[in-house]
């Protein structure tokens, strides 16, 4: 894997909006925190255009991200938020300069499109981590923000996860990939399709009915994305609009059932996704996790 240089004080980070619209005050608050870390912050030209629910038109969102990818003075790119829209611009981006001069790309949810496209096509590490909204939310844990700072500045990261009754014990080692479950499904058969063989897959989801979770997991299984994993890490599955009793299983029980025939370790309850805790993960990084009485994930 190709690892971008870790950041140092004085480096520049760009905030771009490849997907949904975002309030300016939210971005400015996040930028203030980034400056406290010693970083220079550049805001994309069209970040606040508000184009039919997107941060800007497809062309302007693409151009803003392209400029950040190509600017040699920018050492990291934070996506302002997820929502929807990254898949509309991914095929029109030119990653030639980025491939030769990689920089950290940060985001989650809809940004799963960028994570998988970059990892599959260029073998470059990216950060599945918090975005601008979380910097202002009272529900965001301090560990969420601090985990992003540690990863960006190259500090060693180890996560200790409380045991879950559905977790399957063992030791897994492999390159980490994945992201939001619904987005992973939308990428199947494209140039950004998640590649899972021999890898550790991370998944998370928010706001989906239980039957849809089941349908998406079955689709991953039928597509051959689950059978050759080194391990599976399951993050937050929250804000389901229906009750588990309506389907007969909780989201975690659905996942456990779908992968029950496989022998790799499965870690449930990792603090990442659309919840209070959204600890940063490095996609493309070879990681190890071990599940015994407690689980330890080491980057």
Choosing from 46, 117, 210, 274, which is the catalytic residue? 274
Residues sharing a CB contact under 8 Å with residue 74, sequence separation 6 or more, in sequence order: 12, 13, 14, 42, 68, 103
3-class secondary structure, 6: coil
Choosing from 109, 147, 167, 192, which is the catalytic residue? 109
**Cα separation, 216 vs 295, whole angstroms:** 26
**Cα separation, 6 vs 28, whole angstroms:** 23
Cβ neighbour number for residue 93 with a 10 Å cutoff: 18
3-class secondary structure, 85: coil
Cβ neighbour number for residue 155 with a 10 Å cutoff: 12
**Cα separation, 56 vs 77, whole angstroms:** 17
**DSSP H or E stretch at residue 106:** strand 104-107
Token pair of 88, please? Answer: 């509309």
3-class secondary structure, 66: helix
User: b/e per residue, 35-61, with b = 16+ CB within 10 A?
Assistant: eebebebbbbebbbbbbeebbbeeebb
* Active-site annotation holds for 46: no
* Active-site annotation holds for 109: yes
Using alpha carbons, select from 150, 151, 153, 129 the residue that is nearest to residue 140: 129
3-class secondary structure, 241: coil
Choosing from 204, 205, 208, 236, which is the catalytic residue? 204
* Active-site annotation holds for 261: no
Active site residues: 109, 204, 274
């Amino acid at each position: 894997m190709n690892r971008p240089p870790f950041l140092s004080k004085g480096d520049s980070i760009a905030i771009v909006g490849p997907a949904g619209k975002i309030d300016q005050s939210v971005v400015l608050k996040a930028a203030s925190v980034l400056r406290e870390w010693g970083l220079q912050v550049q805001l994309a030209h069209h970040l606040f255009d508000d184009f039919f629910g997107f941060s800007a038109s497809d062309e302007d969102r693409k151009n803003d991200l392209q400029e950040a990818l190509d600017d040699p003075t920018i050492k990291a790119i934070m996506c302002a938020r997820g929502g929807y829209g990254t898949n509309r611009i991914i095929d029109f981006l030119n990653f030639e300069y980025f491939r030769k001069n990689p920089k950290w790309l940060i985001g989650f949810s809809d940004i799963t499109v960028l994570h998988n496209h970059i990892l599959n096509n260029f073998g470059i590490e990216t950060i599945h981590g918090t975005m601008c909204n979380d910097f202002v939310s009272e529900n965001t844990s301090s560990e969420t923000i601090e985990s992003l700072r540690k990863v960006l500045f190259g500090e060693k990261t180890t996560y200790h996860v409380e045991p879950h009754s559905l977790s399957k014990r063992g030791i897994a080692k492999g390159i980490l990939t994945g992201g939001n479950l619904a987005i992973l499904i939308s990428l199947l058969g494209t140039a950004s399709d998640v590649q899972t063989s021999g890898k550790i897959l991370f998944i998370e989801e928010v706001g989906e009915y239980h039957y849809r979770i089941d349908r998406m997991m079955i689709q991953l299984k039928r597509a051959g994305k689950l059978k050759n994993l080194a391990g599976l890490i399951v993050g937050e599955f929250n804000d389901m609009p229906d009750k588990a009793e309506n389907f007969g299983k909780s989201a975690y029980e659905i996942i456990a059932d779908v992968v029950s025939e496989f022998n790799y370790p499965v870690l449930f309850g990792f603090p990442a996704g659309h919840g209070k805790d959204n600890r940063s993960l490095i996609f493309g990084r070879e990681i190890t996790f071990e599940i015994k009485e407690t689980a330890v994930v080491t980057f």
